[in-house]
Amino acid sequence: MCGGIEYQDQKIYFPQPDAHLPVRLRDGHVTWITWGRRKDEATGKFPNGGWARLNSIKSGKWKPWHPRPVLIAADQFMEKDHNNQSHWIELDKRMVIQGLLAERDKETRVYVVTIDAPPEYAWIHDRWPRLVRLKEQ
């Protein structure tokens, strides 16, 4: 499901109270946006969690948050298996993680878009971040 991301030697884990993810802008620069919402946050403007299933986006579940697709920069991401063991998956330099930018009352959050895990990784977790190839510059 993607419990952590490493970008430029910085590891970010969803459980961290103030976790932010690196979102690529159209000009190639990166901006940092709060990753999802934790259950213990005082305000409930956004859905709990840090992930958005692709099929729930397509079905309209995210419409109240005016979803926009974004690209999350990462060198690798982390999945935990059923025994709670961490597995870091390195990304090809041409790949990024698909994100969903949610907005409510001029505040934004980013969620990792997930799909079914590829068969070769299904033993780790059943959900997997959706990976996108960057267009050639």
Domain boundaries of the chain, sorted by first residue: 4-133
User: In the numeric block, which tokens belong to residue 56?
Assistant: 């729930």
Q: What CATH topology corresponds to 4-133? A: hypothetical protein yedk fold (3.90.1680)
User: In the numeric block, which tokens belong to residue 16?
Assistant: 């961290």
Report pLDDT for 65. 96
Instruction: Indicate if the pLDDT at residue 43 is higher than 90.
Output: no
Name the burial class of residue 30, with classes exposed (0-12), middle (13-18) and buried (19+) by CB atoms within 10 angstroms of its CB: middle
b/e 101-124 (16+ beta carbons within 10 angstroms → b): bbeeeeebbbbbbbeebeeeeeeb
pLDDT in tens, 19-35: 999 999 888 899 999 99
Report pLDDT for 17. 87
Whole-model pTM?
0.93
